[in-house]
Amino acid sequence: MSIETSQLPRDYGALPPREKPVFVREPVAMPNLALRETALVVDRLTIAKRLWRGTAEDGTDFGFDLTAPFKHGDTVFQSTAARYVVQQMEEPVVEVSLDVAPSAAAGIGWAIGNLHLELSAEPSRLIAADEPAIRQLLERLKVPYRATTAIFRPGRFARGAQPTHDLGPSHQH
């Protein structure tokens, strides 16, 4: 049985060897923290994908066909000289201080979620992507907020002093 060349993946064999991407399917299970760290900087929407390409700060090209999306700080590859680490870019967010009653914090979280917008909770603040709908909602509710930048990881929630947890893939919008 023959396969049409249009059905095959791109022919990377035609590229010079230094331009062939390193293909990765999952993060390095036990990274060597003694190796020099080289950043692979990506935005939030890219890091959530399973199939994508990226270039590290040293020019190394990567192709990703992942079993599960990476998380900020994952080591994606290591050589004898370097450890390549995904670093999610900071982005504009709105921050709501949690210096309010727990019922008020729950109400704010519910209101944002009711708009099907994403939210993250840390021990001292709620953060959401800086979007006009979020600002309008908070202003209508008379909730003070502050525009800032942060690594926004929606669906992560702190429970008091305990570590922050992901809701998991079953709770995606």
CATH number at residue 135: 3.30.70.790
Instruction: Single out the residue in 30, 65, 88 at which a domain terminates.
Output: 88
Q: Single out the residue of 64, 45, 65, 68 nearest to residue 55, CA to CA.
A: 64
Segment 118-147 shows an average pLDDT of 94
Residue 161, token pair as written in the block: 């002093």
Residues 36 and 50 in one domain: yes
pLDDT score recorded for residue 6: 44
Segment 134-145 shows an average pLDDT of 96
Q: What is the Cα–Cα distance from 45 to 13, expressed in whole angstroms? A: 30
Structural domains counted in the chain: 2
pLDDT score recorded for residue 5: 40
pLDDT-above-90 percentage for the chain:
69
Is 1 within a domain? no
The yes-or-no verdict on residue 26 having pLDDT over 90 is yes
Indicate the pTM of the whole model: 0.73
pLDDT in tens, 63-122: 999 999 999 999 999 999 999 999 999 999 999 999 988 899 999 999 999 999 999 998
Is 111 within a domain? yes
Q: What is the mean pLDDT of the chain?
A: 85
CATH number at residue 52: 2.60.260.20
pLDDT score recorded for residue 18: 52
Residues 76 and 116 in one domain: no
Is 52 within a domain? yes
Confidence band (pLDDT; 50, 70, 90) for 161?
A: low
Instruction: Single out the residue in 61, 88, 115 at which a domain terminates.
Output: 88
Boundaries of domain holding 110: 91-167
Instruction: Single out the residue in 28, 53, 88 at which a domain terminates.
Output: 88
